[in-house]
Amino acid sequence: MKKKLILFTLFVVPIVAYLFFATGVHGFTHLPTVTPKVADFGDWRSTRNERISLNGKITILGFGGKDLLKNRGNLYNLQQKVYLRYHEFTDLQFVYLCPIGTEADAAQILEAMTATTDMSHWHFVFATPEEIQKFHSQLKLQGKLGPDFGTSHVYLLDKDRNLRGRTGEEYREGYNTFHPAELSNEMLDDFKVMLYEYRAAYKKNNNASPREI
C-alpha cells in the first residue's frame, strides 16, 4: 500500500498538475465572452498597405496612441512574453490600432522587432482619432483610452470577433503590457484556455494541422 501511494505521488500527481495548469490556473475550459460580436475594422490600412480584418483570426488587439515611440517598451514586453511563443500559428494575429500620423514611428518599431523575429503576424493599422474612439467605445470596456488615444492594455478577440476575458468576481477585460508578469501569468493563462477551445474543436473534427489553432 505504501509503495502504491509513493508511485501515485511520483507519477499521477504531476500529470494532474500539468493538465490543470495547461488549461489555465483558474480551471476554465472555456473563456467567457465579455463583449459579443464587436465590429470589424473599417477600410483602414497597415504599415504594409494591407487591409486587416478581425474575421477568422484570433486577435490580440492593442491601441498604440500618438506616443507610440515613447511607449514602445510595452510593445516589446508583449513581443517577448507572448508573440515570440505563439507567432508561428497561422490563425493568430497581433494588431495595434494607431492614429494616422504615427506611421513612421510604427515602421521604426516594426523594423527593430523584425531584426530578431519574423513579425509578419504583427500589424499596425491606422485610423483617425475619431474612428479609433468610436471603435474602442463599441468594445464596451470599463477601461478608457488616454488623451493620446492609446492604452497599455491589450485585448483577446476570438475568430468570431467576440471579446473574451473573465467575468463575475474575477472580471478581466484586458491585460496590461506595462507589467511583464501580468502577460506571463494572467494573459497566457487565458490565452491557453482559448487555444484549448480551438484545439479541442479541431481534434473533434479531425481537421487540425500542426500550425493551426
pLDDT of residue 9: 55
3-class DSSP state of 11? helix
Task: Please give the biggest Cα pair distance in the chain.
Answer: 72
* Mean pLDDT, the chain, whole residue set: 87
Domain map (residue ranges) of the chain: 30-204
pLDDT of residue 18: 42
pLDDT of residue 211: 54
pLDDT of residue 200: 80
Per-residue pLDDT of the chain (213 residues; tens, 9 = 90+): 655 555 555 554 454 444 444 444 444 578 999 999 999 999 999 999 999 999 999 999 999 999 999 999 999 999 999 999 999 988 999 999 999 999 999 999 999 999 989 999 999 999 999 999 999 999 999 999 999 999 999 999 999 999 999 998 889 999 999 999 999 999 999 999 998 888 887 676 765 554 555
pLDDT of residue 26: 47
Give residue-wise pLDDT tens across range 45-54: 999 999 999 9
Q: Are 22 and 194 in contact (CB under 8 A)?
A: no
Q: Are 83 and 117 in contact (CB under 8 A)?
A: yes
- Least Cα distance to 52 among 62, 43, 61 occurs for 43
CATH class label, 30-204: alpha beta
pLDDT of residue 3: 57
CA distance 213 to 210: 8
- Which residues lie below 8 Å from residue 163, measured CB to CB, with a gap of 6+? 33, 34, 35, 36, 38, 139, 155, 156, 157, 173
Residue 52: CB atoms within 10 A of its CB come to 18
